[in-house]
Chains A and B, each alone.
Chain A
Amino acid sequence: MPSKNPLSLIKTKFKLYWPLIKSLQTGLLLTTGLAGFLSTHHAPSIPILLQVTGSLFLSISGSTILNMWYDRDIDTVMNRTHNRPLASGKVSQKEALGLGLAFSIIGVGWAMSVNLLYGLIVLAGLFFDVVVYTICLKRRTCWSIVWGGISGGMPILAGRAVALGGIDLIGLLLALAILFWIPTHMMTFSMRYSEDYRAARVPTFPAAYGLEATRAIIALSAIIAAACIGVAGVMIGVQAGFLRLMVVLSAGLLLLSLATVFRPSERINFGLFKYASVYMLASMVLLAL
């Protein structure tokens, strides 16, 4: 018999809803947004910082939930995702759609109220992610990840734009870094779960162009992403010590990327996937310090 205690009900709902927002992915994107905000190295306005955090969290979570709602049929087919709350029926489609829309509308509305340009960039990120990437392209072409990458670059661009009051070259470079980092993350993932993607009929680079070409693209994107972050770091005026650490972490990323090309293995591929996340998180912290 279901409990009528409101606290227990909230707890149960929270447990069900939490996986809908893919907390690690949302957390990483939120971190890039905050890093963009703090990368100006002006004394941050705490109220604005809190509003940026809240609005970005809601917008990113909202778009993630909407993606999961739209892709529920894919999730049901894939081994890796068939236990997700929507695919397994623990959360109803209507409930998820309502939650996704509510988060997105409140998040974008809040962002617009903070700063119009910031709000428009957040809206663009949501639009590219949900409409262009998920609804229009994901099931048609493996090149959809470019649009996924563009939407992934929006939080950092938005964060920097709200702090500066405009878009600058550094913001664009940082967004470009995320765009080129996304393939390192997503293509290694699609290589690891290629059977799942094949079963769900989602086109991927490994399926379309083969493993060798995909590995080469991963290595190339890692080099470009690291270069963009490095140049942005120099332009921002990151302290020499932090810059050295960025170079070291970038070297690790390049080493692993090259290892996937010249000594490919499932383990190295998975290592690159994990390292790429650590790399991005660490780079964001270093840019913000």
Chain B
Amino acid sequence: MKITVLDRLLLLITGLLAAYQVVAGINGLEKVPIIAYTIAFGALLVAGLLLIILGFEILDSPFVVVISTIMPLSLSLGLVWEHVASWRIPYLVFALLGFTAILLTRFLPIPSRLPTIVLALIHSVAGLVIFVLPSILAANGGASPGFALVGLGGALIGLGGLLLAFLKAGRPLLSRVTILRILPALLLLMTLAFVIGFSVT
């Protein structure tokens, strides 16, 4: 499916928002969240640029699964590090092991359903953390109510990530054309929710 001018425009705005977040949206945080958020929004920015330049065909690359895992994994790590001090090290270990597992199951010839199970497990945990943690914090007054938007972004990233990951894994949840049609708008909405959500923390 050919990428349209509107798709490119939406992706450009997404990239600019992600760039803004890397430059100005995470100042003043601790080192680990800064690194984690930089990786998360950086992956989003580079992915947006590559989609603009190469079109949707780039989604056929095996790197897509890796990129679409880096984003939620590092974003969730940043959130946990910032807001749940007791989970910091266990979640850091989970993030590192999870990423390694994704790399190994993508690039080594592993038969059976293990790669899909690993993918689903890691995406689900990371997606749930991004969705649930900000929502709870916003609800119990631990953060401003607007922080719930990060949770909304989490729901969207979980949706997008799963759609892409399962498409790539050969078990699409929606048709390829439908996924590609909604992907740029989904990425933009998700990024917008994150940028606004983080700005009102």
Binding site for B on A (CB under 8 A): 239-242, 244-245, 247-249, 251-252, 255-256, 259, 263, 267-268, 270-271, 274-275, 278
- Nearest Cβ in chain A — how far from B182, in angstroms? 23
Contact of A241 among B24, B57, B58 (CB under 8 A): B24
Contact of B27 among A240, A255, A278 (CB under 8 A): A240
Contact of A244 among B38, B46, B53 (CB under 8 A): B38
Q: A248-B38, A263-B62, A268-B54 are in contact. List 20 more A-B contacts (CB 8 A).
A: A241-B23, A244-B34, A244-B42, A245-B19, A245-B23, A245-B42, A247-B38, A248-B22, A248-B45, A251-B42, A252-B42, A252-B46, A255-B46, A256-B50, A259-B61, A263-B61, A267-B54, A267-B57, A270-B54, A278-B49
A210–B133 CA distance with the chains assembled, in angstroms: 53
- Nearest Cβ in chain A — how far from B64, in angstroms? 12
Given A240-B27, A248-B42, A251-B42: A271 and B22 interface contact (C-beta under 8 Å): no
Contact of A278 among B22, B24, B34, B53 (CB under 8 A): B53
- Nearest Cβ in chain A — how far from B76, in angstroms? 19
Contact of A251 among B19, B23, B46, B58 (CB under 8 A): B46
Chain B contact-residue range equals 20 to 34
| Chain A residues touching B, majority SS | helix
Q: Could you say which residues of chain B place their CB within 8 Å of the CB of A270?
A: 54
A270–B19 CA distance with the chains assembled, in angstroms: 23
B50: nearest residue on chain A (CB-CB)? A271
Q: Is the CB of B63 within 8 A of A259?
A: yes
- Nearest Cβ in chain B — how far from A234, in angstroms? 16
Given A259-B63, A263-B61, A267-B54: A245 and B46 interface contact (C-beta under 8 Å): no
A137–B41 CA distance with the chains assembled, in angstroms: 44
| 30 residue pairs bridging A and B, Cβ less than 8 Å apart | A239-B23, A241-B23, A241-B27, A244-B23, A244-B34, A244-B42, A245-B22, A245-B23, A247-B38, A247-B42, A248-B19, A248-B41, A248-B42, A248-B46, A249-B45, A249-B46, A251-B42, A252-B42, A252-B49, A252-B50, A263-B62, A263-B63, A267-B54, A267-B58, A268-B54, A271-B50, A271-B53, A271-B58, A274-B53, A275-B49
A268–B57 CA distance with the chains assembled, in angstroms: 10
Q: Is the CB of B50 within 8 A of A275?
A: yes
B23: nearest residue on chain A (CB-CB)? A241
Q: Could you say which residues of chain A place their CB within 8 Å of the CB of B49?
A: 252, 275, 278
